[in-house]
Amino acid sequence: MSEVAIPILMYHSLDDSGSVVSVSPDFFAQQMQRLAERGWRGITLKEAGEIHEAKGHWPEKSVVITFDDGFANVHSQGAAVLKSLGFTATVFLVTGHIDGSNDWASPPPSLGKLPMLSWSQVDQLHGDGHELAPHTVSHPSLLELSEDEVARELLVSCDELSHRFGDKPKSFAYPFGSYNPSIEAATQKKFLYVCTTILRRAQHEPLHALPRVDMYYIRSLDMFDKLIDGTLDSYLTMRRWARKFKSTLTTS
């Protein structure tokens, strides 16, 4: 059994607000630079997944870069950095908000209302080799929807990208990381590679339940190095339990 673990990095917005979904553009660029200096590659989930399926293990010295939601700043602040290093990323789009804003719910207070990618920016990202994949149409918590509504969120977002780019998306990420066994069965039927927000590096998990590292928790380049080396795993386990404990306290 392969021991190669792969960090799947989860970013949302590249901005200086300090919100819970933000990483500053400068820090993002430093992280990408650090990967390149150390001989690591940033790749899409699709590429990593295809290598995993062909070889039975994750590619070595690689990280998967993912952006959830499709903020316009991924294009304005992230794309040039990725291009200069020859990296590619997976962008999970809320398809009903392309050319719109992050108004599917109240945004984190310090973030406020931000523009999402336009279709022409989405096309440019696709042209640069990035993977564009669905993150539903309207960013609901899928747990609050009926089975039919879940099916519609998956179908419509998937079809919109299929028609635009000519091939069926292979990857998907759950809004808020929320799912249950029946939602998992529905996504598994449509997608090969499905991301959760479980906080650890990916190793032996099934490809339809992949953990990711929320980059909000990575506060310094030193922590970033440790994440890449795998020496941060015990810290991530602690954060995971702390987060679970916090959610049991706050769930009413």
Residues 6+ apart with CB under 8 A from 178: 141, 142, 143
> Which of positions 149-178 make contact with Zn ion (CB under 5 A)?
175
Residues 6+ apart with CB under 8 A from 62: 6, 40, 41, 42, 43, 48
Total length of the chain: 252
Stretch that binds Zn ion, among 27-35, 68-76, 161-169, 220-228 (CB under 5 A): 68-76
131 makes contact with Zn ion (CB under 5 A)? no
Q: 59 or 175, CB closer to Zn ion?
A: 175
69 makes contact with Zn ion (CB under 5 A)? yes
Instruction: Mark 96-125 with x for binding to Zn ion (rule: CB under 5 A) and - for no binding.
Output: ------------------------------
Residue of the chain from 9, 13, 15, 68 that contacts Zn ion (CB under 5 A): 68
Least CB distance to Zn ion at residue 114 (A): 13
User: What residues form DSSP beta bridges with 133?
Assistant: 92
Q: 43 or 69, CB closer to Zn ion?
A: 69
Q: Cα 207 from chain centroid?
A: 14
**Size of interface with Zn ion, in residues (CB under 5 A):** 3
Cα–Cα nearest to 223, from 211, 234, 232: 232
Residue nearest to Zn ion (CB): 68
Least CB distance to Zn ion at residue 237 (A): 24
Q: 35 or 158, CB closer to Zn ion?
A: 158
Q: 213 or 228, CB closer to Zn ion?
A: 213
CA distance 163 to 116: 20
Residues 6+ apart with CB under 8 A from 208: 184, 187, 188, 191, 192, 193, 194
Least CB distance to Zn ion at residue 92 (A): 7
Least CB distance to Zn ion at residue 75 (A): 17
- Contacts of residues 160-163 at CB distance under 8 Å and 24 or more positions apart, as own/partner, are 160/95, 160/134, 161/93, 161/95, 161/132, 161/133, 161/134
**E-state strands within the chain:** 8-11, 13-14, 22-23, 41-43, 62-69, 90-93, 131-134, 171-173, 193-195, 213-214
Q: 15 or 69, CB closer to Zn ion?
A: 69
Q: 176 or 241, CB closer to Zn ion?
A: 176
Least CB distance to Zn ion at residue 139 (A): 6
Q: Which residues bind Zn ion (CB under 5 A)?
A: 68-69, 175
